[in-house]
Amino acid sequence: ETGVTQTPRHLVMGMTNKKSLKCEQHLGHNAMYWYKQSAKKPLELMFVYNFKEQTENNSVPSRFSPECPNSSHLFLHLHTLQPEDSALYLCASSQFVSGGQREQYFGPGTRLTVT
Amino acid sequence: AQTVTQSQPEMSVQEAETVTLSCTYDTSESDYYLFWYKQPPSRQMILVIRQEAYKQQNATENRFSVNFQKAAKSFSLKISDSQLGDAAMYFCAYRSGVQETSGSRLTFGEGTQLTVNP
């Protein structure tokens, strides 16, 4: 049982499609993250949201558009992707307390294939 | 910028034996946290163990323990009495201890794929 869920688990899309990834956390956290995990590469942080405000954009191309309507939900809108964008996209959440952020908890990821 | 290096892309261990996974990092900070995460085939990234840099005592969690050598910037994970369910990709990660309100950037290593042989 995970406190962070992601849908869909698998997604195949063409380069001209528009799709969205969804992440929901049930842990009462106030920070959420998108990571990209490609084969043979370390996890790459894409976006950070803290209290629903985007606080970090790690030089991500504009074809990836995040949205955080509330502290429990995070979306990643995808449009005109490239084949090299195929990867596992992981969502995570954490709780800010006095003294800093607590550990990040991850969702199961969405395996994205761009054809 | 901080970097995390895992020099062992793959490791294997016999069931019930002990294995050690290596991790080194580079930072100019004195206050930070180190983590080991496990990612099994289900892809769920699970926190295994955490170490605060200001603590000299090595963290332990049941069969998992770390050897934290701050001066050497080394943070290895020891898995004792290995079980088949320990088979996974293991990631070492670094987080700054500087208090921040904007989130919590984790820097990950490349990962070590652990195979447990019956």
Q: How far is A113 from chain B, CA to nearest CA, in Å?
A: 16
Q: How far apart, in whole angstroms, are the C-alpha atoms of residue B88 and residue B113?
A: 6
Contact (CB<8Å) B47/A107: no
A100-115 residue pLDDT tens? 667 899 999 999 999 9
Residues of chain A with pLDDT under 70: 1-2, 98-101
B17-39 residue pLDDT tens? 999 999 999 998 888 999 999 99
State the burial class of residue A90 (Cβ atoms within 10 Å of its Cβ: 0-12, 13-18, 19+): buried
Residue B25 neighbours by CB under 8 Å, 6+ apart: B2, B3, B4, B5, B34, B73, B75, B92, B94
Q: Where are the alpha helices (DSSP H) in chain A?
A: none
Contact (CB<8Å) B103/A106: no
Using CB atoms, which residue from B98, B104, B109 is nearest to A42? B109
